[in-house]
Amino acid sequence: MSSAKRLALGLGLAAFLAVPLSSCATPPPEDDPEALAAYEETNDPLEPFNRAVFEFNRYFDSFVLKPIAVGYRTIVPEFFRERVHTGLQTAAAPVVFANDLLQGKLERAGITFGRTLVNLVLGAGIFDAATDIGLEYHDEDFGQTLAVWGVDEGAYLMVPVIGPTTLRDGAGMVADIFIDPWTYIFDTDKEVLYARAGLTAADTRERNLETIENLEKTSVDFYAAIRSLYRQHRDDAIRDGELPPVPPVPGARPSVSGDVNPELGPAPEEMAASADD
Amino acid sequence: MTRVLSALARGAGAVLLLGFIAAPGFARAETPESFVQTLGNRAIEILQTKEETTFSEREQKFRTLLLDGFDMLTISQFVLGRYARTLSEQELKDYQTLFIDFVVRVYAVRFDAYSGETFKVDRVLDRVDNDVIIRALIERIGGQPPVRTDWRVRVSDSGTMKIIDVYVEGISMLNTQRQEFAAVIEQRGIQGLMDEMHARLAQDISQSDAQTAVQ
């Protein structure tokens, strides 16, 4: 695909995403600061539209993605699935490396470079020898780079087939395609790129079979659970695993004595006020 | 002979020294680190009996563990956020009883996906007011990278310790639950949330299609 075509595709996608603006969630009135704060925290102005796409994605998942992942696990032994996983990591290393550098994280760039080199030499790119010598894998992408540069995450978006993202991360995903050298190497053999995308999807979904199933089973609002997990997961990736400042959590009873009296909650106003900080 | 004696003396000195160092440790029966480590060990023990126990037996043990180690009242109120104040005393109590059943089920299911891994407290990450945040790693079988967990332990003035939040790979369980609850309450009110919690509890969780399909 030429760059012009790719650009047109991107614009088309953007237009498609912009169309359902009519189905926006209604912001709460200005005089309800708590509701307003909650609305801003959720930052999901397209929620009704996003929920519709989410339902579509769940169908798509149950009829296409999940069966592929289950089949992949059934047919391919774990040993070979591990080789695929490491192979995909090796292939994705240039993008991680570039984003390490773009974020000014030289040490992490060194780790990415080192582990890829070690795995290529000692493991043909499909055996992870680097982890054993302390060169552990980490992920970086242009969405994270934008965040490090100070770009806000923007509204939450549920993209058909692809899944949860935000304006910033969606833009990052497109940018990563341009950063990726394979895009240019296989410019005339697109099948290779599609095969890699397919394998990545199968690999990721297979590794999360139990997690997603348990989450679906135990959440009272699967859409909201995914939205919260996606945000926190991205924040964790952006902070490279550093814990965020913990929110104030008021105690539900006086902590002065060991004597527990469930009747004694905190003053409700006080609790709610700090809970929404 | 003198050599033996001096070795003995040195040994005695070492014992004495160790005694002094260890003494404060004995006086303060428990540190937040040892508290988290003990809870983790108990959790691993439950998982190790997977072969010979049913899910509901494990869920029962897990319930005791949660009630011992977690500040359920604080957690249950926090996850309601600003909606907590709209409840009457009685409604709050009903909600809290339901919340405990719900949380036991939710985390028993999620936790049951693990098997006899080892749980190791790594270090103290942070201290905020009365809270200590402890990082612990769950080592996994088969060369998978360890799972990073952070435990927010609240230490009361009397020295009692209770966990109020757990982060798994940087994701706060408290925060997730609060945001999920808020979404349901906004659409269907607190009663709607409680109905949904009842529905989850009534669900048959013994079957897992992904797990039965393969493995």
DSSP assignment letter at B114: -
Say whether A221 and B180 touch across the interface (CB within 8 A): yes
pLDDT tier at A260, thresholds 50, 70, 90? very low
pLDDT at A12 over 90: no
In chain A, the residue whose alpha carbon lies closest to the alpha carbon of B90 is: A263
Which of A218, A235, A236 is facing B110, going by the closest CB pair? Answer: A218
Chain A residues with beta carbon closer than 8 angstroms to that of B157:
255-257
**Are B159 and A234 in contact, with CB atoms under 8 Å apart?**
no
d(CA A265, CA A263): 6
Number of neighbouring beta carbons within 10 Å of residue B5? 9
Q: How many contacts, defined by CB atoms under 8 Å, are there between A and B?
A: 164
Which among A110, A140, A123, A126 has a CA at the least distance from the CA of A236? A140
**Are B149 and A241 in contact, with CB atoms under 8 Å apart?**
no
Say whether B130 and A255 touch across the interface (CB within 8 A): yes
H/E stretch holding B150 reads strand B147-155
B53 CA: distance to closest CA in chain A (Å):
20
Share of chain B above pLDDT 70, in %: 80
pLDDT tier at B5, thresholds 50, 70, 90? low
Residues A11-19, mean pLDDT to the nearest whole number: 50
Instruction: Judge whether B147 is closer than 8 Å to chain A, CB to CB.
Output: no
Q: Which two tokens stand for residue B186?
A: 């906004």
- Predicted confidence (pLDDT) per residue in B104-132, tens digit: 988 888 888 777 688 999 989 888 888 99
- Between residues 180 and 199 of chain B, which touch chain A (CB distance below 8 Å)? 180-184, 186, 193, 196-197
Phi, psi of A179 (to 5 degrees): -70, -35
**Are A175 and A142 in contact, with CB atoms under 8 Å apart?**
yes
Which of B128, B172, B205 is facing A217, going by the closest CB pair? Answer: B205
Q: Which two tokens stand for residue A206?
A: 């297979």
Q: Which two tokens stand for residue A233?
A: 């997961």
- A186: Cα within 13 Å, side-chain hemisphere: 13
Per-residue confidence (pLDDT) for residue A272, from 0 to 100: 42
Query: Mean pLDDT over all residues of chain B?
Result: 82
Chain B residues with beta carbon closer than 8 angstroms to that of A277:
none
Phi, psi of A275 (to 5 degrees): -65, -25
Which among A184, A75, A90 has a CA at the least distance from the CA of A137? A90
- How many Å separate Cα B45 from the centre of its chain? 14
B11 CA: distance to closest CA in chain A (Å):
38
- Between residues 44 and 73 of chain B, which touch chain A (CB distance below 8 Å)? 71, 73
Higher local confidence (pLDDT), A37 or A47: A47
Chosen from B134, B171, B185 to mutate, greatest number of chain A CBs within 10 A: B171
**Are A170 and A145 in contact, with CB atoms under 8 Å apart?**
no
A146 CA: distance to closest CA in chain B (Å):
20
Per-residue confidence (pLDDT) for residue A267, from 0 to 100: 40
Per-residue confidence (pLDDT) for residue A259, from 0 to 100: 40
A272 CA: distance to closest CA in chain B (Å):
5
Say whether A223 and B174 touch across the interface (CB within 8 A): no
- Between residues 81 and 100 of chain B, which touch chain A (CB distance below 8 Å)? 81-85, 89, 92-93, 96
**Are A219 and B180 in contact, with CB atoms under 8 Å apart?**
yes
pLDDT at A275 over 70: no
Residues B44-48, mean pLDDT to the nearest whole number: 87
Say whether B78 and A246 touch across the interface (CB within 8 A): no
Burial of B27 (0-12, 13-18, 19+ CB in 10 A): exposed
- For the ranges A83-87, A102-106, A243-247, the lowest mean pLDDT is seen at A243-247
Say whether A211 and B203 touch across the interface (CB within 8 A): no
A243 CA: distance to closest CA in chain B (Å):
6
- Predicted confidence (pLDDT) per residue in B142-197, tens digit: 667 788 999 999 998 888 999 999 999 999 999 999 999 999 999 999 999 999 99
pLDDT at A146 over 50: yes
d(CA B190, CA B185): 5
pTM of the predicted model, to two decimals?
0.81
Chain A residues with beta carbon closer than 8 angstroms to that of B181:
220
Which of A225, A233, A262 is facing B73, going by the closest CB pair? Answer: A262
Burial of A238 (0-12, 13-18, 19+ CB in 10 A): buried
